[in-house]
Structure formats: structure tokens, C-alpha cells
Amino acid sequence: MLSIPGRYIFLALCVIAGAFGYGRTCEVEPGGTGGRLRAGAYAQDITPQKFPISVNGGFQDRQATRAHDPLHARCLVLEDGKTALVLVVVDSCMIPRDILDKAKALAAKKTGIPPGNMLISATHTHTAPTVAGVFQSEPDPDYVQFLTERIAEGIIQAHARLAPAQIAWGVAEEPHQVFNRRWKMKAGVIHRDPFGGTSDQVRMNPPRASPDLLEPAGPTDPRVTVLSVQTAQGEPLALYANYSLHYVGDMPPLSADYFGVFATVMRTKLKAGPNFVALLSNGTSGDVNNINFREPAPKRQPGEQSRLVAEAVANAALRAIQKATYRSDVRLAVVNRELTLGVRKPTAEEVRRAEAILARAKEKVLRTPEEVYARETVLLAKYPSEVTLQLQAMRIGDAALAAIPCEVFVEIGLELKRTSPFAVTAVVSLANGYHGYLPTPEHHALGGYETWRARSSYLEVPASVKITRTLQEMLQRLAQETGP
């Protein structure tokens, strides 16, 4: 899950891939001066071929016995004659860095594109096979190998389809599908955390329409950011969108959730051909979901809410590009940075307490939050004191992508967009690895599920400050070194 050796693999592969002609360095790939754009897209099926299979997304493991709908790694390659960029969105809850580094290495060998020029993110669907050990779900090694090879093959196929293209970017808002899920409650309502503490001031996913609700603990980001790619003849080729919504969660496993529905709806709305690929990446949604806690739950059929949300986001994507200008002379550039951060490790006393709780557990499957987090405490005690993660920023014309390997709180994305030197900026979460939730220090002080120490939340308290500052510097560098 930590994939610590990944940065060494990543740096070495960047040097090797540079020999193919797509750039010489992973620190800064400045791109050309606006050469003629080529693009290729491909949707690679990643649905497992063996069942039952473990499913990520809960305190207890779940086993899927079939696929409700297919899962994909949706791939887009952009190239300007000097620099090639790869954007991939995978129907998975989260993907550790070592898996993605291996997939990038395989793709680099066939395409010559440096791994540092590849941005691969997970959608965060909670109905996909487990590939990261979190809580009581553990990955199937056979599926991990299958997924690794399929992601690489998707990139290779997209690269093979490169053809003259044009691109546009834009932003529209869809405010009705995003709600902050962390709530301040009336005094005395919030109970003990799984460690026996009583300092939490917020509750994640409180009861709907409860009289004990006070106010959300944070904002939302309604923006749908879009990169729209057409052929040289003006036919839809691909569309990359970004929206800060955790997921919907009304589909049985296995399912791509609303992200997959969006891909289908977008093709229909654009009247695109069968080779068109729509990609919907997850923005900064660590504390944002699709539940309006002020109101009772509406009656919905399975999958109905996903279709409603996908339709709304697709309509916003259309509005974003309605008056956009398509260009074939765009600058492509990328910058990568390795950032080392501390780990919130348990004390010896906390480990002893956790071991005692586990010794008293009556079942192999842990049922209570106290037991689940006791196991997480024991596992985290074996972690190193520091981890290194990859941060990435890409420039595509006057649009930028900032990639973070965490479940990022919405305030972080809002700040990065506010300070970005680019006209359009999207912040992609769960990108190029997985290092748990990324709350701000202020949210750490409030407590709540996303801050509870586990393999799903272990970075040092000021991690978000360091990540935000580093990405701000990277975006400024992209703007300054690649010019207007």
C-alpha cells in the first residue's frame, strides 16, 4: 500500500523513456511551442474474469459474484510533436502507487512516453475489486496483475490511435449534486471515537433530516471542469471531466457507479461514435458526497440516483464547452515532484491497548469500529515514520491539472484553483497512488471519521499545507517556464 520504492522506479523509468523522444526529464517537461495536436483515446475493459472477488469500500470485506456493469480504464493520449501526456481514469476505489508504476513502466516500453507524463487516477467507486489493503478487504494478486496489464494496454491502444486533433477547455457549475458530509451537531450528540476519545466535534454522514444537525463543517465545489477533444474534422473524440463528488453508491457490485453512467450519457449527448471515450475523474471530494442531509431520503430504484447525477454532470459538461474555442496549437507540459511526509504512528501504549481489544474479539471478522481500528493501529505500528508521494501538475493549453494521491478535502481544491495562474484548473484526487484522506489541519482539529488514524488516514497533520504549497509552486513554474 505504501509503495515506498516507487519513487526510485519512477525516476529510473523517466530516464529510460526519455530515449524515445518524448522528453528528457521527470522534473520538468516543458513541452513545445504549440505544435499541431494529436490525440488518441481508448476504453480498456478491466472487469475481472474470476469470481467471487473482494470489493473495497467498507469496514468489513464484501464479495462480488458478478459484474452489474463493466469496469474500464479510460485512456486519453495527447501529443504535440515533442511532448506526450497520458490521462487515465480507472474504475477502482483506490490504487497503490506500486501498481500504477508497473503499469506506467509497461506502457512506457511500448509507447516511449515517460512515466512522469502519465496521470492515472481512480474514480473511487465503492463497487470495484479490492487492489489496496484497507480495513478488512485485501487484494487478489491475480486481479492486481490483470489490472496492471490492462491499464498499460489501454494506454498503448490510445497511443496507437493518435491522429490530428483539436482541444477546448471550460468550466460550468452543477451545485445540486454535492453536499458536505461532515456536520456539526448539537451538544452531546457525538459519541466516542473508535479509540475511546471524546474530542470529535463533527460527524460524518449523520442521520438525514435529524433535529440534531447544526451546519456543515465545510463547503463544496460545484465546478465541472472539462477538456473536450475533437478530431481535425470536428467530430467528438474524447472528453475529460472533473467533479468533486465522492461517488453515488446505489449500484450493486461490481459497478463503475455514476462515473460509468456519465461516460455513456456523454457519448449520447454529443452524438459521438462508438470509439468516443468520456473520462470523469474525481476532484477534491474527501468530505463531499451526494446526500442532502437536511432532507429525508427520496425513494429511488437501484441505479436511479446514479443516472440522475450523471445526467446533471453531463449537462454541466456540455455547458462548459458550449462556447469554447477548439485549438490544435496548444502547449503541453508536465512537472513532477516527490514529497516526503511524516506518518501519524501509534504510541506503544496505543498498540498495547489495540492488541488487547483484538485478543477479546469473538469473531474472525471484526464487527465493531473499536475492533476494526484496533487492527488498523497494529498494522500502522509497522509503517515507516515517513512516506514519499508523487505530486504532478500538467499544462494543456491554458488549462491545468494538479494531481494528488489522496482523498483530498474540498477546501484544498478550492485554494489551488483560486491561486492557479491558469484559466481553468482541475484538481484530481486518488492520482498516481493512494495515501489515505487529506484533511486540512483545521479539520484534523475537528476530528471525525476522515481523521481517525488508519491505513485510510495516516499522513501528518500539516500534510495538506505542504502539498498545497508544493503544487502552487509547480503550477506557477509551469506557467512561467512554458510561457503564455
**74 SS3 class:** strand
φ, ψ of residue 451 to 5 degrees: the values are -100, -10
Q: Within its chain, how far is the Cα of 386 from the centroid?
A: 22
User: Sheet holding 386-396: strands in order across?
Assistant: 28-29, 332-342, 386-396, 399-403, 424-428
- Given a contact cutoff of 8 angstroms between Cβ atoms, the answer to whether 288 and 176 are in contact is no
pLDDT of 18 reads 40
- Cα 415 versus chain centre, distance: 18
Window from 4-8, 124-128, 376-380, 402-406 with minimum mean pLDDT = 4-8
For residue 7, pLDDT over 50 is answered with no
Residue 9 has pLDDT above 80, yes or no: no
Task: Decide if pLDDT at 274 tops 70.
Answer: yes
Closest CA to 333 of 231, 160, 484, 466: 484
Is the backbone of residue 190 left (phi > 0), alpha (psi -120 to 50) or beta?
Answer: beta
Task: Report the phi/psi class of residue 116: left, alpha or beta, with left for phi > 0 and alpha for psi in -120 to 50.
Answer: alpha
Mean pLDDT of 134-145: 96
Lowest-pLDDT range of 144-153, 184-193, 349-358, 403-412:
184-193
Residue 341 Cα distances to 95, 146, 163, 299, 462, angstroms:
19, 31, 41, 44, 9
pLDDT at residue 35, rounded to an integer: 67
**Would you kindly state where each structural domain of the chain is located, as residue ranges?**
6-179+217-341+383-482, 346-380
Residue-level pLDDT at 460: 99
Is-contact 26 11, C-beta < 8 A?
A: yes
- The amino acid sitting at 455 is R
- Residues 15-31, mean pLDDT to the nearest whole number: 43
Phi and psi, residue 57, nearest 5°: 120, 5
pLDDT of residue 481: 82
The CA radius of gyration of the chain, in Å to the nearest whole number, is 21
Of the chain, the percentage scoring pLDDT greater than 70 comes to 92
Q: Check residue 22 and give its pLDDT.
A: 53
> Distance (Å, rounded) from C-alpha 100 to C-alpha 105?
8
For residue 12, pLDDT over 80 is answered with no
Q: Could you tell me which residues come within 8 angstroms of residue 255 by beta carbon, excluding any fewer than 6 positions away?
A: 67, 68, 69, 71, 125, 127, 128
pLDDT at 461 over 90: yes
Q: Is the pLDDT of residue 112 over 90?
A: yes
For range 9-27, the mean pLDDT: 41
- The model's confidence at residue 482, banded by pLDDT at 50, 70 and 90, is confident
Looking at the predicted structure, is the pLDDT value of residue 26 above 60? Answer: no
The least confident of 10-14, 108-112, 360-364, 457-461 is: 10-14
User: For the segment 229-264, what is each residue's pLDDT rounded down to a tens digit?
Assistant: 999 999 999 999 999 999 999 999 999 999 999 999
Cell of 280: 470523469
Quote the crossing angle between the two packed helices 6-17 and 97-111, to the nearest 10°: 10
Instruction: Tell me: pLDDT of 29 over 80.
Output: no
Taking residues 364-377, what's their average pLDDT? Answer: 95
Question: How far is the C-alpha of 457 from the C-alpha of 332, rounded, in Å?
Answer: 34
Residue keyed to cell 438525514: 208
Q: What is the per-residue pLDDT for 484?
A: 65
* Predicted pLDDT at 363: 87
